[in-house]
Structure 1
Amino acid sequence: MTRGDSAYHRAMAEANRQSVLAAGAALFLENGYDRTSLARIAQEAGVSKATLFKQFPTKAELFEATVLAAGSTPDLVPLDVPTDDFRAGLVMLGRAYGDLLMRPEMTALMRTVIAESPRFPELRTRTFDFGTLPVLKALARYLRDAHATGVAEIDDPDTASAQFLGMIASSIFWPRLVHGTWSMTDDEREQAIEEAARTIEARYAAS
């Protein structure tokens, strides 16, 4: 196999993967986890069942990949996050996280996770690696850099990240997820993010 052939096949494999993920997202949201079959996803994606099974041997693995793909949006990651103003950097990243949570497909897929996991052990036992999402990777990098440069004193970036994201999600995401008619204004959302940033700043900013 030549180098060109290898690149071609990698490109085809990635195109097939994206087609499968798009078809999976549409069918999972339309029919739920139980009534969505891998065979139907393969048909809608325009790939063979063998191609699908090669990348996603089980429906649980495909569903996990579908949820993570819905949040894999590098364009949400802010550029030029300030490194000398800890709170301002947190606010910028908090807004990006809020934008991610407000994506309709993220809300819909998380509702599916909550609704389906009690009935399907293969979903209940999976640990979705949300730390791979670009926004959350950017936050983890920001916290590590803040500690390294002395802007903040953060011995455990994972804990600090969970605290920050948890405050934001509990204010702007979970009420919306549980109560479909719940809403908040842009100003209220901004206030929730800024309050979360101030709390983290008060806890971790260097003296």
Structure 2
Amino acid sequence: MGTKSTYHERIKEEKRACAIAAAEELFFEKGYARTTLAQIAKLAGLSTGTLFNHFPTKELIFETIVKHFWELDPEWDFPPVLGSPLQGLIKFGRDYACVLTRDGMAPLFRVVIAEAKQFPELSLFHYELGEGAVHQKLTQYLLDEVQLGNINLPDAAKTANEFMSIIAGQVLWPKMLLLDFSISREQAFQIADEAAHMIINKYAR
């Protein structure tokens, strides 16, 4: 019974993964508005009924794609240790840079921006699950370090925004505008580390 149940679960996950991969390909190629669930099912090799069982709406499958893009890899998914704002910022910065340099992140941003007026819910998903979630966690971390007396910040939320903007401005936005732009993970980490040092030098007690 257990083996049969495991087999069915594996098949279910494989079909779900195929649907997500197909949707991602179509969204990036055709845009959100011009992609239909029928097209996604066909590309994934699934019946529309099977796809509907996994994702009743196109909105839900897009939200799932956004979640996947912003999830940290298991080896990175742990909070920074309080006590060293520099090391904490380096951890946050590298996590952020790691996510921003993933294949497909720039096309995902392009879809969200292009469809923002017609489908504002896409921007909401992307912000709440991505940039907004990172900003909220970083702000709380900085507030905790302020509370411990390890750093003096006039506005933790603004500092978090400043830090993230420095990284995104060099890691993501050139890729959005220049199709031939490329950056290695090591280069992105160096940018994140430099941003952390800039913030500490500006606000260290």
* TM-score, with structure 2 as normaliser: 0.70
Query: Counterpart of 1:26?
Result: 25
Letter matched to residue 38 of structure 1: L
Give yes or no for contact 1:20–1:45 (8 Å, CA) kept in 2.
Answer: yes
Q: 1 CA distance for matches of 2:143 and 2:14?
A: 34
Question: Cα distance, 1:61 vs. partner?
Answer: 3.9
Give yes or no for contact 2:21–2:44 (8 Å, CA) kept in 1.
Answer: yes
Which moves more between the two structures, 173-182 or 79-88?
79-88
Figure out how many residues of one structure are paired with residues of the other and give that number.
204
Task: Provide closer, same or farther for how the CA distance between residues 59 and 154 of structure 1 changes in structure 2, counting only shifts above 3 A.
Answer: farther
Match runs of 1:79-90 below 5 Å: 81-90=80-89
Question: Cα distance, 1:175 vs. partner?
Answer: 1.1
Q: Output one character per residue of 1:108-161: Cα deviation in whole Å (capped at 9) or x when no partner.
A: 22222233445x345566452134898667645533442343323457544332
Query: Counterpart of 2:41?
Result: 42
Give yes or no for contact 2:142–2:156 (8 Å, CA) kept in 1.
Answer: yes
Query: Counterpart of 2:163?
Result: 164
Query: Counterpart of 2:92?
Result: 93
Question: Cα distance, 1:169 vs. partner?
Answer: 0.2
Query: Counterpart of 2:3?
Result: none
Match runs of 1:35-184 below 5 Å: 35-45=34-44, 48-50=47-49, 52-53=51-52, 56-75=55-74, 77=76, 81-118=80-117, 120-122=118-120, 126-128=124-126, 129-131=128-130, 139-140=138-139, 142-153=141-152, 157-183=156-182
Give yes or no for contact 2:170–2:191 (8 Å, CA) kept in 1.
Answer: yes
Identify which of structures 1 and 2 has the higher relative contact order when contacts are C-alpha pairs closer than 8 Å and 6+ apart.
2
Query: Counterpart of 1:4?
Result: none
Query: Counterpart of 1:196?
Result: 195
Unmatched segments (≥5 aa) in structure 1: 1-6
Q: Give RMSD over aligned pairs.
A: 4.2
Which moves more between the two structures, 138-147 or 94-103?
138-147
* TM-score, with structure 1 as normaliser: 0.70
Aligned-pair identity (%): 33
Question: Cα distance, 1:100 vs. partner?
Answer: 1.1
SS of equivalent to 2:23: helix
Task: Provide closer, same or farther for how the CA distance between residues 100 and 131 of structure 1 changes in structure 2, counting only shifts above 3 A.
Answer: closer
Unmatched segments (≥5 aa) in structure 2: 1-5
Give yes or no for contact 1:60–1:122 (8 Å, CA) kept in 2.
Answer: no
Letter matched to residue 108 of structure 2: L
